[in-house]
Amino acid sequence: MEKSFLIVGLGNPGKEYANTRHNIGFMILEQLAKHFRFEWQENKKFSTHLAKGDQDEKNILLTKPQSYMNLSGKTVATLAGYHKIHSERIMVVVDDLDLPLGSIRMRPNGGNGGHRGLKSIIEDLGTKSFPRLRVGIGRPDLKQKISGFVLSKFKQDEIDQVEKMIMIASKQLICWINQNIQTAMNNYNGDYSPKK
């Protein structure tokens, strides 16, 4: 019997949020869909964009919830229930202010870290026991509000770093699917920002 994996990229829907820090989860899933040659389709039933297919006897679902961040949990819980996917095979890709730009950290479980999307998913799944990939987006300077910072686009001089981070995060997710979380964490968790 094939195993099913659900990978959730968190972000906000709409063109105005494209390529913003808060949408790094969407950006990583778009790269992953390209790798697998999966096509994105709008799925109104689950209020999401879905890309899915089979790879080496594994059923892989990529999802970008189209509700706002703090309502992501309903989409994730409904999809997981419909496809009978256990929480240990639900990976949530999320932006993290507490990690520097260029850092990625996969974990088997944990709290919400103050992230509304994770909070919503924990509430709707009824468990914290699902893996997540935290992707560093850096912190604003003292003059800028956090709300404005997370909704800002990456700066021109950060683009190369962001693209590198997206590629490494995609490889880590593929490693998680094909091997296991421990191997993916050991091989890829780290800070990939340019050394000063």
The model's pLDDT over 52-108, given as tens digits with 9 standing for 90+, comes to: 999 989 999 999 999 988 899 999 999 999 999 999 999 999 999 999 999 999 999
86 part of the active site: no
DSSP state of 153: B
Domains of the chain as residue ranges with CATH: 3-191 (3.40.50.1470)
- Stretch among 19-23, 111-115, 129-133, 168-172 having the lowest mean pLDDT: 111-115
Across the chain, mean pLDDT equals 94
Q: How confident is the model at residue 195 (pLDDT cuts 50, 70, 90)?
A: low
pLDDT at 49: 97
Q: How confident is the model at residue 194 (pLDDT cuts 50, 70, 90)?
A: confident
**Is the four-CA dihedral 168, 50, 179, 111 of positive or negative sign?**
positive
Q: Residues 152-172: what's their mean pLDDT?
A: 95
